[in-house]
Structure 1
């Protein structure tokens, strides 16, 4: 159980959540008709990506949370590497890896298209996400350095250099979002790590990148972001347990 979180904020953050399944838990039944099932973990940023897409597109779905420290044996049938997210369709098809899942959802479900139709614009977004993958890796270097009580100054400087490149990209594009005039797939693919800036202790760098800071504030108002958002104090409580390798981390805050 997490500590140090006010009860009102905790209940609001957890009202949409469910306890994770662990080793020995029975497998869920078939995916109900009219729904699609996402195997997730409540605090995983990669799993938040398809949750954002599901919310943005209004796709009816159910979520099965998996405890990644104690995975049910049957889960490897749903995800060969035992990772989340993984998607299961009513006819038993399995799709895994967050970018692939998100692309599938955008193509399989009409309305509110999140990826550009123009091939070059699509390639631009994929190149941007390739760069962003290096931002993610740097953020985790910061996290593990903090966990091991190491000096984070150098790796934070590396993060800031990568963030400045994103700032240049957004300045050159001259739009409020990385995807253009409205929020799109590339914004949702990047957002989960910006939601965790407090966990990685890099919030100060947003103030030094005004374009990204403006984007960050706009994203906080997006309906899909609001629907999937977890409060910073809840995230911090989870990552404290996670850094202790606690099996209880996945159900942080649940009774």
Structure 2
């Protein structure tokens, strides 16, 4: 393993880490992947980014990028074979996903922690965003046009998480275009490639190269 490679601290199921891995893989950039355990975060990661959340990317020169969207942009600005960045108005859409939708998603998923309202209330609040996505997907195949872009990669992991809270209920919701879009995302070879399982990294353990095979 080349020790000058960027190091990516990740957690397989985290949607923020998922979107970062999608962009890195798409950009065909090679990194050293370090899968972490949330209950036992490595000191090296916490030293690089004391906030303690994934993903964290440490570049060869020591620069730390610890926001998932910034990692996506870093990767795509180096190599963007699918022209993910050549779409309009993705910033506002991702901002809505990361703010109000994520707020309600967390409360829907962990409703027992937020007893002020029942889970259904938070689901309905989240559906405001689903309805916006449905409207877009009724007009175009993907969120920002005719091809998969940064918006789809950044948002799909969170819609996947929303659907998984109660899959039976999700299937009853009136968003057929969104359901088709999500199902297509889940069958992408790119998605499959970034969801491989790795043992938790510990100092001295074998390194895992990630992102260097074109998909």
TM-score for the superposition, normalised by structure 2? 0.78
**Over aligned residues, Cα RMSD in angstroms?**
2.7
1:188-207 CA distances to partner (integer Å, 9 max, x unpaired)? 10111222245322563455
Structure scoring higher RCO (CA < 8 A, sep ≥ 6) equals: 2
Gaps of 5+ in 2: 202-215
2: CA distance between counterparts of 1:190 and 1:224? 15
Q: Which runs of 5+ in 1 are unaligned?
A: 1-29, 232-249
Is 1:73 the counterpart of 2:43? The answer is: yes
TM normalised by structure 1 equals 0.67
Q: Which residue of 1 aligns with 2:143?
A: 178
**What is the count of residue pairs matched by the alignment?**
196
State whether residues 7 and 34 of structure 2, in contact with CA within 8 Å, keep that contact through their aligned partners in structure 1.
yes
1:167 aligned to 131, 134, 142, which one?
A: 134
Contact 2:20 2:72 in 1 (8 A): yes
Who is 2:67 aligned against? 97
**CA pair 103-195 structure 1, distance change in 2 beyond 3 A:** same
Query: Contact 2:131 / 2:175 at 8 angstroms: preserved in 1?
Result: yes
Q: 2:187 & 2:27 partners in 1: Cα distance?
A: 16
Per-residue displacement from partner, 1:49-72 (whole Å, max 9, x unpaired)?
A: 111112222222221122232223
Whole-angstrom CA distance in 2 between matches of 1:113 and 1:223: 18
Structure-2 change in CA distance of 1:137 and 1:203 (3 Å): farther
- Decide whether the 8 Å contact of 1:160 with 1:205 is kept in 2: no
1:50 partnered with 2:35 = no
